[in-house]
Amino acid sequence: MAESKDSHIVEIPVDLEHEQKKLLPAISNIAEAIEDHPLTEISESPGHLLLLKLWQREEEIFGSRIAHKELRMDSIKRDLFQLSSFFFIFHFLFFTLLFTSSVNEDGGSCGKWWIPSVISAATSAVFIILVQVKVNAYWRKWREVKKEREASRGVTRCVQELRMKGASFDLSKEPNQNGGKKMKSSSVEIKWKPWSWCCKNSLTICLVCFSGLAAPASKFVLCGF
């Protein structure tokens, strides 16, 4: 009975040594690739590793600065919208009261038309000054954000180059902030400077034009055409 049981057992030979021989070259190739990887070279070089950490830290600082200044720009936009809304609401209520008083007095206040004109012009001047201050602050932040982004792109390029080259990267290299492109486009900026100034201050220009029409309009409301 024991012999019959043993005769039914099938042995499957497994050549472990052959499988290991197949795996060893692949493992050795992976190990060589890891050793030759630029990040491995950077980790073994104190100078390159320190430079990588410093530039990564600069990237984080630039990112936080840009985010903070963009939030400030959004706040300035809200302030400009509120000031512009108050400007037009004031003139709407002002002319409503002016028209009502001219109807009730039957033209008796025509001789004092210059008083509401002065009030309208003075109030408009206050709003325009406040708006222009906010506009200047907005474009100042915009220029700062532009410079921060250019500097951040320069650091990012250097970090990428350092990660690709590894220990062969030149430690004396500094981030490039596209100074050549600035010089190349300076003539175009000078050529279109009046137009760009008008675009940047378009809100103030609109308010000034409206104020120029609103001040003498008091005479037509009180005295008629």
Cα–Cα distances (Å) from 98 to 8, 25, 84, in that order, read 115, 94, 21
CB 204 within 8 A of CB 128: yes
Residue 15 inside a domain? The answer is no
pLDDT level of residue 175 (50, 70, 90 thresholds): confident
Report yes or no on 148 lying in a domain: yes
Tens of pLDDT, residue by residue over 37-92, are 566 666 666 777 787 788 888 888 999 999 999 999 999 999 999 999 999 999 99
The answer as to whether 155 is a domain residue is yes
Residue 193 confidence class, pLDDT cut points 50, 70, 90: confident
Q: Is 205 left (phi over 0), alpha (psi -120 to 50) or beta?
A: alpha
Start-to-end C-alpha separation, the chain: 130
Q: Whole-prediction pTM value?
A: 0.71
Q: Is residue 5 part of a domain?
A: no
Whether residue 3 is contained in a domain is answered as no
Residue 178 backbone dihedrals phi, psi, to 5 degrees? 55, 45
The answer to whether residue 9 sits within a structural domain is no
* CB-CB neighbours of 108 under 10 Å: 11
Q: Which amino acid is at 149?
A: R
224: left (phi over 0), alpha (psi -120 to 50) or beta: left
Any domain includes 6? no
Q: Structurally, how many domains does the chain consist of? A: 1
Please check whether residue 14 lies inside any domain of the structure.
no
Domain extent at residue 203: 21-223
